[in-house]
């Protein structure tokens, strides 16, 4: 099995608590594990937008995580 990168998000929230590498069958009680697509930036402290499957540095989904705009805010 090939390990993938996942955002660890407490169930019912959008806040990324951690980013882990795990097998696709791995799970953590009370958390959703969202697969991070190749080329998408995801880091602890970012917010997941399920509408576009991207991660943002703010809960308003304005600045993408890891973008220059996010670094200057």
Alpha-carbon Rg for the chain in angstroms: 12
| 11-57 confidence digits (pLDDT tens) | 999 999 999 999 999 999 999 999 999 999 999 999 999 999 999 99
* pLDDT at 68 > cutoff 80: no
CA 37 to chain CA centroid, Å, is: 10
Q: What is the pTM of this model?
A: 0.87
pLDDT bracket for residue 67 (50, 70, 90): confident
State the pLDDT at residue 51.
97
Return the H-helix or E-strand segment holding 72.
helix 68-72
User: Any idea which residue has 């990324």 for tokens?
Assistant: 16
State the pLDDT at residue 66.
87
């Amino acid at each position: 099995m090939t390990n993938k990168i996942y955002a660890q998000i407490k169930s019912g929230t959008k806040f990324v608590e951690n980013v882990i590498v795990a097998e696709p069958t791995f799970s953590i009680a009370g958390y959703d594990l969202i697969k991070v697509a190749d080329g998408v930036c995801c880091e602890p402290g970012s917010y997941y937008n399920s509408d576009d499957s991207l991660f943002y540095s703010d809960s308003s989904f304005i600045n993408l995580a890891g973008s220059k705009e996010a670094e200057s805010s």
